[in-house]
């Protein structure tokens, strides 16, 4: 991308965000004109009206379960205009790691177009801050398994649908460094073989790599944890010019063998750098000296991986990628110099119609008399330009792909405005909640509790590799169960202290008061054996998920019985909190 075109993209973005209100009204008009004759909208009595007031009056707020019967009919082959005026060409699948069940979602070319707009916008701002030249990118990306629905529609992950799009392939050539790995590696059927080859290809082109990327921070950390185990084997491959026998898929072997030639000097250089590192600190800039940054989604459930990712990245900047979901995109990161923990995303007002449900946490006395399902007091949804700085909201959006007033379930905080478009910071998922009585602990609360307790392991140089939680109501009273996978063994004494610290670190008033009166039982810390979370990863990949989109479920419900079974079968020790004992 030339400097002129980068500035053109930024100028276009500035103009659009200055007129955010106009673009919102125009986007809603286009959505309703294109899809107004669909079964869903006709039944709601819009009667061809396209103004926001009529839309909000006629169309209800919905969740995925409300639209699921319509989407299922489309997947089963009903080609009538059910949700969209134009036929749905494919189905996207959510990762399923959040709820334990993969959701079907309509996929259309408009979603590819919004992806391109988001990518162009964030790339322009990122490249202005951290200019990259011609070269390659080490991208840990993977195509997922595909299957045909009953109605002969291709179903796969949203990212794979985008990667397969001709529009994506053509556009990305202009705005992104070429992936160091051939397509056969990206779309390989075994993610472990693909991962090995991503690392190998990235090292073959080590001097040309401009940045390191994967969809999620977890995938980046997983990749370099793997590198710690296979680096000597990779060095051997490069030294002799012959691919490891671990690569058995013919298409991958053939594609990688074409670029693998004997290079003893490169192998020696990699070997000497690796043995010279202290506990793998700064391995990324050491092996890829021309890389400018590490890039991927690093907010929300990815934040726990940032400490380890910074260890690998050394002095290289970590930049959080844009804000979206399997359902669609919301905003672009136009402030790439902010650390991931402070990352904000500007809503693009022409990629969908956005509303925001104001959320306020109830006072303690209200909590004590409310039902356990209430976490926030909700008000009527506000428009994009009507939100207030400092307030929290749930995102509601409508798009061209048949989602109308769709509650995304994400809680965001408005941190400011870029011209007239709000800047959002992701807070948490509303559905991810630890709750037994009047307690309400979010994914973020869990993360902070784990971080506080993990400090007790620091002196022994032990890390929490990964973690999750479960509400155990089989006991009376029910209690929280926290699962930890550790990098190495620790003593019973320290782990008991960690357990007590976890319990005390949940500062939610409902939890504290419930623990004090024994309405919630002592927190339980269960240590699982090494590799347990990789087993969970393998489980999701086996269901058709993809490594680069994997998110460890932070709250495992009883309905997600396979994951719960994997965790419970691998417990090596457990501890009950004594923090509230009198």
**pTM to 2 decimals?**
0.85
**pLDDT tens digits along 175-204:** 556 888 888 998 888 889 999 999 999 999
Distance separating alpha carbons of residues 330 and 347, to the nearest angstrom: 6
pLDDT of residue 145: 73
Res. 371 pLDDT band, cuts 50 70 90:
very low
pLDDT of residue 300 exceeding 90, the answer is: no
pLDDT of residue 163: 67
Is the peptide bond preceding residue 477 cis, with omega within 30 degrees of 0? yes
pLDDT of residue 99 exceeding 60, the answer is: no
**pLDDT tens digits along 150-182:** 877 777 776 776 666 666 666 555 555 688 888
Supply the Cα-derived Rg of the chain in whole angstroms.
24
**pLDDT tens digits along 440-459:** 888 888 999 999 999 999 88
Distance separating alpha carbons of residues 27 and 34, to the nearest angstrom: 11
∠ Cα 434 439 440 (to 5°): 55
pLDDT of residue 396 exceeding 70, the answer is: yes
Average pLDDT of the segment spanning 252-280: 94
**End-to-end Cα, the chain, rounded Å:** 66
pLDDT of residue 4 exceeding 70, the answer is: no
pLDDT of residue 462 exceeding 80, the answer is: yes
Res. 74 pLDDT band, cuts 50 70 90:
confident
Q: Which of 81-90, 421-430, 568-577 has the highest mean pLDDT?
A: 568-577
Count the neighbouring beta carbons within 10 Å of the beta carbon of residue 166. Answer: 8
| Residue, of 538 and 581, whose pLDDT is higher | 538
pLDDT of residue 365: 42
Range from 69-73, 115-119, 272-276, 375-379 carrying the lowest mean pLDDT: 375-379
């Amino acid at each position: 991308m030339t400097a002129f075109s980068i500035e053109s993209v930024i100028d276009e973005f500035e103009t659009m965000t200055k007129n955010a209100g106009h673009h919102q009204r125009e986007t809603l008009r286009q959505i309703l004109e294109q899809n107004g004759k669909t079964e869903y909208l006709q039944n709601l009595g819009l009667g061809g009206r396209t103004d926001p007031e009529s839309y909000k009056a006629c169309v209800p707020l919905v969740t995925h379960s409300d639209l699921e019967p319509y989407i299922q009919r489309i997947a089963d082959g009903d080609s009538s205009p059910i949700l969209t005026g134009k036929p749905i060409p494919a189905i996207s699948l959510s990762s399923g790691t959040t709820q334990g069940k993969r959701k079907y979602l309509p996929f259309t070319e408009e979603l590819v177009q919004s992806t391109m707009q988001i990518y162009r916008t964030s790339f322009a701002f990122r490249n202005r801050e951290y200019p990259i030249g011609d070269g390659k990118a080490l991208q840990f990306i993977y195509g997922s398994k595909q299957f045909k629905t009953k109605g002969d529609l291709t179903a796969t992950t949203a990212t794979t649908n985008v990667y397969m799009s001709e529009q994506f392939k053509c556009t990305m050539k202009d705005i992104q460094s070429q992936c160091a790995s051939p397509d056969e590696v990206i779309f390989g059927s075994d993610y472990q073989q693909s991962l090995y080859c991503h690392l190998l290809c990235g090292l073959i082109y080590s001097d040309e790599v401009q940045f390191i990327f994967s969809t999620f921070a977890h995938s980046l950390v997983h990749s370099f944890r793997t590198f710690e185990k296979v680096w000597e084997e990779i060095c051997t491959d490069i030294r002799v010019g012959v691919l490891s026998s671990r690569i058995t898929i013919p298409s991958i072997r053939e594609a990688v063998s074409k670029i693998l030639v004997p290079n003893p000097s490169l192998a020696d250089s990699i070997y000497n750098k690796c043995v010279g590192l202290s506990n793998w600190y700064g391995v990324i800039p050491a092996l890829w000296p021309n890389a400018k940054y590490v890039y991927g989604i690093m907010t929300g459930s990815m934040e726990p991986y940032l400490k380890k990712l910074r260890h690998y990245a050394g002095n290289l900047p970590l930049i959080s990628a844009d804000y979206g979901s399997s359902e669609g995109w919301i905003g672009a990161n136009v402030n790439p110099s902010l650390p991931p923990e402070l990352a904000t995303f500007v809503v693009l007002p022409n990629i969908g119609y956005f509303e925001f449900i104001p959320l306020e946490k109830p006072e303690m006395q209200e909590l004590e008399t409310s039902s356990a399902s209430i976490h926030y007091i909700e008000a009527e949804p506000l428009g994009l330009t009507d939100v207030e700085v400092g307030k929290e909201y749930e995102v509601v959006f409508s798009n061209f792909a048949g989602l109308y007033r769709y509650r995304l379930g994400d809680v965001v905080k408005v941190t400011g405005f870029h011209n007239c478009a709000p800047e959002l910071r992701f807070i948490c998922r509303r559905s991810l909640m630890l709750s037994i009585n009047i307690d309400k602990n979010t994914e973020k609360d869990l993360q902070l509790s784990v971080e506080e307790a993990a400090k007790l392991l620091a002196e022994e140089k032990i890390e929490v590799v990964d973690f999750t939680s479960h509400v155990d109501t089989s006991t009376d009273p029910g209690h929280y169960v926290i699962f930890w996978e550790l990098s190495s063994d620790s003593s019973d004494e320290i782990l008991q202290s960690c357990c007590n610290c976890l319990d005390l670190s949940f500062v939610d008033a409902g939890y504290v008061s419930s623990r004090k009166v024994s309405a919630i039982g002592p927190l339980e810390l269960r240590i699982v054996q090494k590799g347990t979370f990789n087993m969970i990863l393998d489980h999701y990949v086996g269901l058709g998920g993809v490594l680069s989109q994997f998110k460890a479920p932070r709250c495992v419900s009883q309905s997600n019985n396979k994951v719960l079974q994997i965790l419970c079968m691998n417990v090596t020790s457990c501890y009950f909190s004594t923090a509230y004992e009198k």
